Amino acid sequence: MGGHLRLLMQVAFRNLFTSKINLLIGGIIFFGTLLVVVGGALLDSMDDAMSRSIIGSVAGHLQVYSDESKDNLSLYGDWSGEPDLTVLDDFSRLKPVLEKHPNVKTVVPMGTSGAMITSGNTVDLTLARLRDLYKQRAQKGESPALREGIDSVKAHVQQMVALMEQQKDKSRELLSDAAVDPQETEALARARSDAFWNGFEQDPFGSLEFLENRIAPQLPDGDLLDLRYVGTDLDAFQKSFDRMEIVDGQRVPQGKRGMLMSKFFYENFLKLKSALRLDNIKQERDVNHKLIAEDPQLQRWVKENQTQTREILFQLDPIKARIATERLQKALGSQEASLEKLLSAFFTTTDENFDERYQRFYQDLAPLLELYRLRMGDPITITAFTRSGYVQSVNMRVYGTYQFKGLEKSAMAGLINLMDLMSFRDLYGYLTADRKAEIADLQKGSGLREVSRADAEESLFGEGSGNTLVADATPGLIEDSKPFEGGMGALRREDLAARVYSQDEIEKGVALSAAVILKDPEKLQQTLQELKQAGTDAGMKLRVVSWQTAAGFMGQFVLLAKMVLYFAVFIIFVVAIVIINNAMMMATLQRVREVGTMRAIGAQRSFVLSMVLVETVVLGLVFGAGGALLGSGIMAVLNSAGIPAGNEALYFFFSGPRLHPTLSAGNLLAAFVIVLVVSAISTLYPAFLATRVSPLQAMQTDE
């Protein structure tokens, strides 16, 4: 038997390179194997990287939510809008059911939603600062430092009004008089008059109201931002997702209300636009090695910095404007007195001067500016539609910024902001203990009484319907027109901001879903089924899904890419089977005399069949090994150098700035199995033809 096989192998290797047909067949197998090895390894590596991104950022290994939900959970949003999920009424009841499973490490309550916020324009922010100073004076009395601060900000406001009037004059030169609103012109004239500022101290809040309502809206540079947020137990979240790290500020104190803003969101939407454009140019030059002289996007950013200097001009009070002018004159070697022209010249950057201008901006100009519209520790008002459709507002403090390590440039992970679970419940429209207490205070103080829905008609239209009543609904926060003088609304907001909630209070309430972190991710599917059953046994209707399903379209992206690859491979090898089959038939017909001679000297049909099959398998293995070897070399190079993430979307798919793909034994095994199957299938019919050749046919065949 061993000698028989050795003879077959000798024949196979002898005929390996003797025919052009064999080289054609080998080339098809070579490139097919190369495609399977490289393509499969790249997609497997991307799948692994993206799973780390999704699991490590917000999804966990599993997500659990109510099985009564109309829609499926989609943590990263969907084109159809926010999914309609039925809430988990009491997270404290769900948590022990999940944690009882031996493979569950931690369970984190969650709820995702979105709101629109305004970043305010420069005038708005300056007027808000001036209003805060007057509030401090009303509460604590006059002091030299406070007086100096008020005078400085007032001078800044006066300068901004002067700049606005100058811009209005320029607009009047370019546009017709009909395009200029006379009421705006009149308001600016009043704000520029000495009479207005001489009488400012007599009614500072009335004067501020005029500036806020009539002057600030004339500067339309405030942005309406889409804020996507996750409400969660912030301490549990940070302990469970180890890729999370605080960048600026501090973590939200345990048990307190507050927000951690995504560093990506903070940089891209709240930073001074001129500074952001400089950062983007530097990023493209340093990382992607682009040149301003060649790249249209970089040229557009340079042009925008040259022409859009208003945001900087409006930030500078008279003293800072003088300092900025002096520094720019020195940097540019110019005697130009116009700060606007100096800024335009400074931002005229080229590949030769960019690095020096970038350094000077952050060294000379940045200290004079507010680089961000929101500072760490500042309060923010978030207004959102509740689940029932009315508008709800919550004030909270932004304690810091955070990011997920390796996903700093990813928009997918970077657009998710974190807030405490109590504030999320308020925005989502559920009665928390604080809200119930507020309703009770209102009822007690106003003589209101609560009635059931069944008795509402009788109470409204029956006898004694003159009594005042209140329905059971979630109220909005009380807005006091003069919060600096005190009032129930202001006190309530201060109480909520200062209050520390116990862990029991945080967990005993609604959540939209729960993220489950596993001890052994290899047992994910088994754990998923067992948690479903555990929920059913506990009387809960739960839907338990993997991270891939919970991520929506993003989670299915690699699966879709794999399907495309495998379909392409299938088509290639179907074509290969046809080509190899035809080529082998031609090769067999060319060898009729040889086969007949072998039959004449005693070779059995089984030997001929084995010979043809072994030759094809050897051909497939040799050229397949060559393709696999080249594929392994390509993967080794890619693993060492890494594939750079050319855009923000790829940061998420690559789980970092570079993907370092790896080749697994499974990729090689899959390639060889496919080669062997294709080779065997394509050879069956030619081998059958070879066994039908008789010695008489061979002798009758001409050479």
Euclidean distance between CA atoms 241 and 255, whole angstroms: 18
Is the Cβ–Cβ distance between 401 and 440 less than 8 Å? no
Residues 573, 596: Cα–Cα separation, whole Å? 32
H-assigned helices in 429-552: 433-446, 456-461, 488-498, 503-507, 524-537, 547-550
Buried b (16+ CB within 10 A) or exposed e, 163-192: bbeeebeeeeeeeeeeeeeeeebebbeebe
Statement to judge: residues 471 and 563 lie in one domain = no
Phi and psi at residue 411, in whole multiples of 5°? -70, -35
Of 218, 225, 261, the C-alpha closest to 127 is 218
Residue 328 belongs to some domain of the structure: no
Question: Same domain, yes or no, for 250 and 388?
Answer: yes
Q: Return all residues near 465 (Cβ < 8 A) that are at least 6 apart.
A: 458, 459
**pLDDT at residue 548 in the model:** 84
Structural domain includes residue 627: yes
Mean pLDDT, range 205-212, rounded to an integer: 89
pLDDT computed for residue 469 by the predictor = 40
Confidence bin at 384 (pLDDT 50/70/90): confident
More confidently predicted of 630 and 679: 630
Confidence band of 101 (pLDDT split at 50, 70, 90)? very high
Could you report the per-residue pLDDT of 572-608, keeping only the tens digit for each?
667 767 776 676 666 665 565 666 666 566 556 666 6
Give the percent of the chain with pLDDT over 90: 28
pLDDT surpassing 90 at residue 253? yes
If asked whether residues 91 and 32 sit together in one domain, one would say no
In a domain, 81, yes or no: yes
pLDDT in tens, 347-358: 999 999 999 999
Least confident range from 325-334, 525-534, 613-622: namely 613-622
Q: Could you tell me if 578 and 671 lie in one domain?
A: yes
Residue 148's pLDDT is 87
Checking if the pLDDT of 226 tops 70, the result is: yes
CB contact burial 264-289 (16+ within 10 A = b; e otherwise)? bbbbbbbbbbbbbbbbebeebbeeee
Q: 377 with 497: CB under 8 angstroms?
A: no
Among the residue ranges 72-76, 554-558, 662-666, the one predicted with the least confidence is 554-558
**What domain range is 480 assigned to?**
434-500
Same domain, 505 and 629: no
CA 89 centroid distance within chain? 28
Spatial neighbors of 331 by CB under 8 A, at least 6 apart, are 346, 360, 364
Q: Where are the alpha helices (DSSP H) in 591-694?
A: 592-600, 605-641, 648-654, 665-691
pLDDT at 342 (0 to 100): 95
Alpha helices in 339-474 (DSSP H): 339-346, 354-360, 411-414, 421-428, 433-446, 456-461
Task: Indicate the pLDDT class of residue 162, thresholds 50, 70 and 90.
Answer: confident
Q: Is 658 found in the same domain as 585?
A: yes
What was the pLDDT predicted at 109?
Answer: 95
pLDDT band at 16 (very low <50, low <70, confident <90, very high): low
C-alpha R_g of the chain:
36
Q: What is the pLDDT of residues 440-489, one digit of tens each?
A: 665 565 555 555 545 555 554 555 544 444 434 333 333 333 333 334 44
| Structure confidence by residue, pLDDT tens digits, 650-660 | 777 788 788 88
Contact, 375 vs 247, CB < 8 A?
A: no
Q: Is the pLDDT of residue 260 over 90?
A: yes
Contact criterion met (CB below 8 Å) for 252 and 506: no
Cα-based distances in Å from 282 to 291, 302, 350, 371: 10, 11, 12, 17
DSSP 3-state of 404:
strand
φ, ψ at 351 (rounded to 5°): -65, -25
Residue with tokens 């309430």: 509
Kindly state whether residue 62 falls inside one of the protein's structural domains. Answer: no
Same domain for 637 and 685:
yes
Please indicate, yes or no, if residue 58 is contained in any of the structural domains: no
Residues 447 and 413 in one domain: no
Of the listed ranges 171-175, 215-219, 251-255, 672-676, the least confidently predicted one is 171-175
Q: How many structural domains compose the chain?
A: 3
Q: Specify if 547 maps to a domain.
A: no
Q: Cα(584)–Cα(253) distance, rounded to whole angstroms?
A: 75
Secondary structure E strands in 1-103: 62-66
Instruction: Please give the Cα distance from 41 to 31 (Å, whole number).
Output: 15
Tokens of 648: 């923000």
Together in a domain, 417 and 467: no
Q: How far apart are CA 568 and CA 575, in angstroms?
A: 11
As a whole number of angstroms, the distance between CA 365 and CA 125 comes to 19
Question: How far, rounded to the nearest angstrom, does the alpha carbon of residue 234 sit from its chain's CA centroid?
Answer: 19
Beta bridge partners of 643: 659
* Shared-domain flag, residues 564 and 635: yes
Instruction: List all residues 6 or more positions away from 673 whose beta carbon is below 8 Å from its beta carbon.
Output: none
Give the rounded distance of the alpha carbon of 678 from its chain centre. Answer: 42
Least confident of 277-286, 627-636, 640-649: 640-649
352 lies in some domain? no
Across residues 53-71, what is the average pLDDT? 89
pTM of the model: 0.74
- The Cα 646–Cα 282 span in angstroms is 14
Residue 233 pLDDT class (50, 70, 90 cuts): very high
Determine contact, residues 75/550, Cβ cutoff 8 Å.
yes
Q: How many residues in total does the chain contain? A: 703
Confirm whether 638 is domain-assigned.
Answer: yes
One-letter identity of residue 231: G
Q: Which two tokens stand for residue 287?
A: 């990382």
- Confidence check: pLDDT of 304 > 90: yes
13-22, 330-339, 653-662: segment of lowest average pLDDT:
13-22
pLDDT at 473: 36
Which residues have C-beta within 8 Å of that of residue 60, sequence separation ≥ 6?
108, 240, 241, 515, 516, 517, 547
| Sign, Cα dihedral of 348, 353, 355, 361 | negative
Which range of 56-65, 140-149, 223-232 scores highest in mean pLDDT? It is 56-65
Tokens of 504: 């029991």
Query: How high is the pLDDT of residue 153?
Result: 87
> Residue 215's closest CA among 198, 196, 194, 201?
196
630 and 527 within one domain: no
What is the end-to-end Cα distance of the chain in Å, rounded? Answer: 33
User: Which run of H or of E encompasses 563?
Assistant: helix 553-590
**Number of Cβ atoms within 10 Å of the Cβ of 48:** 15
Mean of pLDDT values over 130-134: 88
Q: Would you report the helix, strand and coil content of the chain in percent, each value rounded to 5?
A: 60, 15, 25
The token pair that represents 488 in the structure block: 């129930």
Instruction: Assess whether 655 and 630 both reside in one domain.
Output: yes
Average pLDDT, the chain: 79
Contact assessment for residue 472 and residue 56, using Cβ atoms and an 8 Å cutoff: no
> What sign results for the dihedral spanned by CA atoms 608, 613, 617, 623?
positive
Q: Is 117 helix (H, G, I), strand (E, B) or coil?
A: strand
Out of 511, 540, 569, a domain closes at: 540
Instruction: Say how far residue 351 (Cα) sits from the centre of its chain.
Output: 31
- With tokens 């090769």, the residue in question is 587
Neighbouring CB atoms inside 10 A of 309's CB total 19
Rounded to whole angstroms, the Cα distance separating 674 from 682 reads 12
Higher pLDDT among residues 671 and 472, named by residue: 671
